[in-house]
Structure 1
Amino acid sequence: MQNLALKMPKAFDWPKVGEVVEGRVMKKSAKNLYIDLGIWGIGIVYGIEFINAQDIIKNLKIGTSVFAKIVEVQNESGFRELSLAEAKAQKSWDLIRELKKTNQAITTKILSVNRGGLIVEISGIAGFLPVSQLASEHYPRVEGGDKNKILEELSKFVGLEFKIRVLDFDVKENKLIVSERAAEEEHLKRAIERYKIGDIISGSVSGVVDWGVFVKWPSSAKAMEGKPMEEEMLEGLIHISELDWQLVENPADLVKVGDEVAAQIIDITNDRISLSLKRLKIDPWKTASELLEKGMLIEGLVKKFNPYGAFVEIVCHPNECLQGLCHISEFGSDEKMNAALEVGKKYQFKILAFVPEEHRMSLGVL
């Protein structure tokens, strides 16, 4: 009798509501699932819990080991009432919590897409991969930012497997945010460490968008690791303001995808590299002070209108031009400006202010 008492669980050893326990399937019926919990007796899954766990139960066989969550310690029939669905969800969130804690990268399949990003799954929990968290090779570069075209590009990833890291999660809100970009940060960091501000890279244009140009080039750091060529690339952005010393309205007017370019690294922040084309060109403003000065009368070509006035191109040297602004106040209104000037035509202007160190020239119309 004493030995039997030693084998019996103590009061504080009994499972509590909310605790996940392990057992073996002992019987299945059309409405109930019975699980052998060993010294804790027999558990039952029935009612709404049975319905919610249909996808799990249909694959279970007699003797299969399974995890279940205690929803009632003992019902009127003496069974422990269990939930398979809640146990699976809890185990899944425990896994997600561990992935976040260890910053471990895992591979997951892209299930679907929406305008904001991609839908993935980790152990049955749906997660969201925002467009902003895609790796550079998967980022949709669509001219004009057309949302339908972006969605079309994202749809190509459905069914593919991406390596991701858990970025954020909230169990109560059933929210899971993941990042593909974060999963590649470690090897990107090692590759980027080989570069510094001022270095010049040679690469090819990989994307052209309204706000600039993306350029890819081989990373010697990764090449040394003997990885496939498609993985041996770094990518940087040339902002529209760094394409040329002159005003650029549309980057596509200067370059197209596939063009070979040389660019200078002007900033490295985390895994983002900023590049410049214009820094490798002679700054026309530096030599313009020898030719232009305040009060001078010059001929200029009207390039465009905007709410501030008219942008005018001034030729300094055979292959060098500057742009000045003829402010809207010179005309009084948009209507009067449009009546006085026409885009694409040349007019005489007077230099009202010339500040080459600030790349600024104000013009007055004659």
Structure 2
Amino acid sequence: MGVMDTTTQQDNKQDGAVSTQQVAVPHVMEELLKTCPKIFLKTGDLIDGTVLSKEGACVYADLGIFGTGIIYGREYQNARDFVKKINVGDHMSAKVVEVENEEGMVELSLKEAGEEIAWKEIKELKESGETLELKVTDSNKGGLVIEFRGIKGFLPASQLNAAHYPRVDGGDKEKIAEELGKFVDHPLSVIILDIDPKTQKLIFSEKGIASEDVKKIVEQCKVNDVIEGEVTGIVEFGIFIKVAENLEGLAHISELDWALVENPGNLFKVGDKVKAKIIAIDGDKISLSIKALKTDPWEASREKHKKGDIVEGKALRINKFGVLALLDSGIHGLAHISEFGSEKRIRELVEAGKRYVFQIAVFQPENRKLSLSFLGKPGEPINPKAPTSEDASAPLPTTLTTEESLSTQPLMQEEETG
């Protein structure tokens, strides 16, 4: 035998040894797993098994190489509804509560496993945006309660589609709750809007779900289009207008008029024919504006007013910032509380709903800013202030924009309530 042959035989032997080692590693792991499988389990793991028996308040499961699992005590009580439905031989998934108890069995939780599996599915459904048909189980003043895989979720009233939103005159909360209660035990088509497994938060939405017919109608609508339709509903935050068959749009209270609107029902009634401009389209949600078709009083006031002018206006509201007043030209301004010294002094001098004389301290129509100085009642001697240059660094409350003034509405109080 030559040197080459000897070398080849030695190489073959080495190759064989390596192959044997490679085969032996998984074989050793397999044997180790068989002899001591529980070292590979840890608390919190999800594990599959087969129901072996149901004895009293215990369920035993075959976990294969991991031995026998048991569900009992508190975990049995937590999952008793599910336990009633399972039979010997059924496949089940459970969560490891204790790897090995005093009897050498793996303690399991069906409830925790079910929740973890459910939250995983919920996350996938949220990401996919899939529509679900789920039954309403309860209601309250804020919306509807819906369950999915045993987890309670919430559908806020604000996330109902236009057709289902309770149309209650004056926004009476008791009547809204009564209307919402009519959905209990009825199915709704919803999507998952928001989740947080840690806090058990599951929020549903009915918005954004539209039939193919509605989608085709929406596709024909364009932002800036002007529509004419019938008022189909009046709520505290605006009015619903029929855009087309089976399609409504919402004109928010802030889009009804350039003037302050406290109650949409004072301006409109169901059945009124109105024109509105489409200002936004989001899925099947169409936002409308009626005031967009009217002259902007701020633009019209450019030539009417200037700083230092003496003007009359109606005191609309009193709030912690001062007096919100409506001038005859249709623009709003704020007489800041610093003009009076205190809210108590304001209420001594001013009554909501009555007219007073003001002097324009700041007028920036391009920024919708109007600041007023209070001078007194019409017919009384007044003491106008000498105009000064507008200070850009002046405190914000003295130059609140109309929108900022109106945004304080929840804090405002009528004079008669003081």
Q: TM-score scaled by structure 2?
A: 0.62
**C-alpha displacement of 1:148:** 1.8
Give the drift of 1:162.
1.7
Q: Deviations over 1:217-240 (max 9, x none)?
A: 22xxxxxxxxxx6xx313221535
Please tell me whether residue 275 in structure 1 is matched to residue 316 in structure 2: no
Q: Does 1:16 align with 2:41?
A: yes
- 1:169-188 residue pairs with structure 2 within 5 A? 169-184=195-210
Q: 2:243 aligns with which of 217, 220, 237?
A: 217
Whole-angstrom CA distance in 1 between matches of 2:118 and 2:151 = 7
CA distance in 2, matches of 1:293, 1:101: 54
CA contact (8 A) 1:68 1:82 kept: yes
* 1:52-81 superposed Cα distances (whole Å, 9 cap, x missing partner): 221111122222222222223333333222
- In the alignment, which residue of structure 2 is the partner of 1:224? none
Matches within 5 A, 1:45-56: 45-56=71-82
Aligned to 2:271: 258
Distance in structure 2 (CA, Å) of the matches to 1:285 and 1:48: 68
Asked if the contact 1:169–1:176 (Cα under 8 Å) also holds between the matched residues in 2, the reply is yes
The change in CA–CA distance for 1:7 and 1:77 in structure 2 (over 3 A counts) is farther
Q: Distance in 2 between matches of 1:169 and 1:287?
A: 48
Please state if 1:234 is matched with 2:248: yes
The alignment-based identity, stated in percent, is: 41
User: Secondary structure of the equivalent of 2:277?
Assistant: strand
Deviations 1:81-118 (A, max 9, x none): 22222221221112112212322221211111223222
After the TM superposition, which residues 95-114 of structure 1 pair with which residues of structure 2 at under 5 Å, given as runs?
95-114=121-140
State the shift of 1:282 in Å: 7.2
Partner of 1:225: none
Q: What amino acid is aligned across from residue 57 of structure 1 in structure 2?
A: V
> Could you list the runs of 5+ residues in structure 1 that have no partner in the other structure?
219-228, 295-299, 314-321
Shift of 1:188: 7.2
State how many pairs are aligned: 330
Distance 1:239 1:159 in 2: 32
1:75 equivalent in structure 2: 101
- Shift of the alpha carbon at 1:41? 2.8
| CA offsets 1:143-190 (integer angstroms, 9 cap, x no match) | 333322222222121112122222222222222222222545999777
* RMSD between aligned residues: 4.6
Shift of 1:244: 4.8
**Structure 1 residues 44, 8: closer, same or farther in 2, change over 3 A?**
farther
Q: 1:97 to 1:206 in 2, by over 3 A?
A: same
1:59 and 2:85 matched: yes
Matching residue of 2:19: none
Per the alignment, in what secondary structure is the counterpart of residue 57 of structure 2?
coil
Decide whether aligned partners of structure 1 residues 216 and 41 sit closer, same or farther in structure 2, where only a CA change above 3 A counts.
Answer: same
Alignment match, 1:36: 62
- 2:135 counterpart of 1:87: no
Shift of residue 125, structure 1, vs aligned partner? 1.0
User: Who is 2:189 aligned against?
Assistant: 163
For residues 18-55 of structure 1, the C-alpha deviation after alignment (integer angstroms, 9 at most, x for no partner) is 22222222211112211223343322212222222211
Say whether the 8 Å CA contact 1:185–1:271 is kept in structure 2. Answer: no
Separation of aligned partners in 2, 1:54 and 1:42: 20
Relative to structure 1, is the Cα distance of residues 65 and 267 closer, same or farther in structure 2, using a 3 angstrom cutoff? Answer: closer
CA contact under 8 A between 1:238 and 1:277: conserved in structure 2? no
Tell me, in whole angstroms, the C-alpha distance in 2 between the residues paired with 1:77 and 1:327. 77
Equivalent position of 1:125 in the other structure? 151
Between Structure 1 and Structure 2, the one with more helix by share is 2
Instruction: State whether residues 326 and 365 of structure 1, in contact with CA within 8 Å, keep that contact through their aligned partners in structure 2.
Output: no
| 4+ residue segments displaced more than 6 Å | 5-8, 185-190, 282-290, 324-329, 332-338, 349-353, 357-360
Cα shift readout 1:240-299 (whole Å, capped 9, x = no counterpart): 5x4456665543233212333332223446765332334546789999999x999xxxxx
TM-score computed with the length of structure 1 as normaliser: 0.70
